[in-house]
Amino acid sequence: MESIATKFGIQNALKILGVQTVNEGTSTGSFHFSNGEIIESYSPVDGQLIGSVKATTKEDYETVMKVATSAFKAWRMVPAPQRGEIVRQFGDKLREKKEALGKLVSYEMGKSYQEGLGEVQEMIDICDFAVGLSRQLHGLTMHSERPGHRMYEQYHPLGVVGIISAFNFPVAVWSWNTALAWICGDVCVWKPSEKTPLCGIACQNIIAEVLKTNNLPEGISCLINGNYIVGEFMTKDSRIPLISATGSTRMGKIVAKEVAGRLGKSLLELGGNNAIIVTPDADIKMTVIGAVFGAVGTAGQRCTSTRRLIIHETIYDKVKHAIVDAYKQLRIGNPLDENNHVGPLIDTHAVKMYKEALDKVVEEGGTILVEGGVFSGKGYESGCYVKPAIAEAKSEYEIVQHETFAPVLYLLKYSESIENAIDIQNNVAQGLSSAIMTNNLREAEQFLSQEGSDCGIANVNIGTSGAEIGGAFGGEKETGGGRESGSDAWKIYMRRQTNTINYTTELPLAQGIKFDL
């Protein structure tokens, strides 16, 4: 019988991306090396071994850092618009290899092929954004209190930026960081998730080709592979002024403490417990579309996935029945087959967490509306396919207060004004994404006001999941407070400097201080 990998051209995709499926792991551009332990990448789609890489050892890491720090000295001297030209070429390469890379993302991570393509499109979009930004790294000028003086602020590159990314967006989040860091004059060392190492190698191969063509130092982009121990090489390294880390809140707290201990900077994108408020003035059809995609897209493994639906009591039953009916139409299976809506969870550990969450909500008094469960048999051999589930619950349940990285949606009821719904939404530790479904202008504006959503992202009449490149992405509270991608997020990758120039023959002091000699 023809395998999924053969049927959907995975080997051809790997060939296009230049990914050898054994013994790669540490890279500083065109060469690969490592003496570390083997990391095997199994696809959650069919449970098959895709390939093996080697973990980065401490010795390997030191070699990477020497190459990266050397490359920075050259890269920072390249004018920003010329750095933007390199990012433009990288974006064009991604356009050429979009189908292959999207397919690898889908097969190694398990998200639908359409979502895999969408993730690569995010990479292309951030490259376009960064190219324009490379001519707009503006400082400020200001008036001095001293005559004959000029004051201004300017931005300089930081140096080596360390990037730790998660499995759920194995390529896009890296590109959000690197595209901006590169045009700012920084070089990058990236540790992708050990669950999706081949996606990291594919991306490294693409940028390495661009750097080689332009006769630029390969250390501008570096790759290391491994588990949290390899991540600690970066978090403890004072040669890396900024660590950008995406993952769980637990991981983020460890990174933040370690980096702060050496007075470094951290950019953290952590957990989400995202809610949609549904008011009596909501468009029910739009609500169902936004809520279902938000809850089951990427099998509920997005940091912006919809976890909670907060519905007014007067329309609660109507919305509940509409959502339950929509779930009956979901097709769960091979994500490379575009007829399916939902693919697998990343691994059997994620399945275990999913099952424990459903047990917990029942234990606390909740009611299961759409039964969960694990698929088995033909087409589900990996053991990672689960049924998207819906439970009626209360906001104070412990399980509702936590993020479960799986397709579990909690329906909550509110009975009073919009203030009550906002209080329920905000009463969790996380603060990433939020949404309200309403055609009432006053409700929408209140939701977006200072007394409204406390999340970094607040949407009206769209769901919690998905974000455009132009806006800064990130959240508050235990989500970490970082911002990536658009707007002025570039400033985190640079150091700010205030300059004062005296063009007179006098030396007056600030605040009118007298110091005569």
CATH of the domain at 352: 3.40.309.10
Please say if the pLDDT value at position 232 is more than 80. yes
- Check residue 416 and give its pLDDT: 85
Same domain for 226 and 286?
Answer: no
Does any domain span residue 508?
no
Please say if the pLDDT value at position 36 is more than 60. yes
Q: Which of 306, 415, 400 is nearest to 357 (CA)?
A: 400
Same domain for 246 and 368?
Answer: no
Please say if the pLDDT value at position 274 is more than 60. yes
> Is 303 a residue of the active site?
yes
Same domain for 345 and 301?
Answer: yes
> Is 269 a residue of the active site?
yes
- In tens, the pLDDT along 367-397 reads 999 999 999 999 999 999 999 999 999 999 9
Please say if the pLDDT value at position 14 is more than 80. yes
- In tens, the pLDDT along 3-13 reads 999 999 999 99
Same domain for 65 and 209?
Answer: yes
Same domain for 301 and 219?
Answer: no
CATH of the domain at 68: 3.40.605.10
Same domain for 266 and 280?
Answer: no
With a CB cutoff of 8 Å and minimum separation 6, the contacts of 184 are 80, 137, 155, 157, 158, 490, 493, 494
Q: Which of 387, 424, 394, 427 is nearest to 408 (CA)?
A: 387
Banded model confidence at residue 467, pLDDT cuts 50, 70, 90: confident
Q: Catalytic: which of 258, 269, 403, 484?
A: 269
Phi, psi of 158 (to 5 degrees): -80, -45
Does any domain span residue 513?
no
Same domain for 237 and 353?
Answer: no
- In tens, the pLDDT along 492-517 reads 999 999 999 999 999 999 898 988 88
Same domain for 48 and 13?
Answer: yes
Q: Count of domains in the chain? A: 2
Q: Which of 422, 426, 460 is nearest to 440 (CA)?
A: 460
Which residues constitute the domain of residue 89? 4-140+157-270+480-496
Does any domain span residue 507?
no
- Check residue 424 and give its pLDDT: 98
Same domain for 133 and 46?
Answer: yes
- In tens, the pLDDT along 146-164 reads 999 999 999 999 999 999 9
Which has the minimum average pLDDT: 257-261, 263-267, 338-342, 509-513?
509-513
**Whole-number Å distance between alpha carbons of 328 and 207:** 43
Tokens of 262: 């050496």
Banded model confidence at residue 21, pLDDT cuts 50, 70, 90: low
Residue percentage of the chain with pLDDT more than 70: 97
- Check residue 154 and give its pLDDT: 98
Q: Which of 358, 293, 302, 292 is nearest to 325 (CA)?
A: 292
Q: Catalytic: which of 127, 188, 199, 303?
A: 303
pTM of the model: 0.96
Does any domain span residue 148?
no
DSSP sequence for 69-118: HHHHHHHTTS-HHHHHHHHHHHHHHHHHTHHHHHHHHHHHH---HHHHHH
Phi, psi of 199 (to 5 degrees): -60, -40
**Mean pLDDT over the full length of the chain:** 96
Task: Give the mean model confidence (pLDDT) for residues 223-243.
Answer: 97
Same domain for 333 and 377?
Answer: yes
Task: Give the mean model confidence (pLDDT) for residues 115-126.
Answer: 98
Does any domain span residue 501?
no
Does any domain span residue 318?
yes
Same domain for 372 and 263?
Answer: no
Banded model confidence at residue 20, pLDDT cuts 50, 70, 90: confident
Does any domain span residue 356?
yes
Could you give the angle at which helices 58-75 and 228-235 cross, rounded to 10 degrees?
A: 40
**Whole-number Å distance between alpha carbons of 270 and 267:** 10
Phi, psi of 353 (to 5 degrees): -65, -40
Same domain for 193 and 250?
Answer: yes
Please say if the pLDDT value at position 34 is more than 90. no
Does any domain span residue 307?
yes
- In tens, the pLDDT along 22-31 reads 544 555 544 4
Do strands 160-164 and 187-191 pair parallel, antiparallel, or not at all (unpaired)? parallel
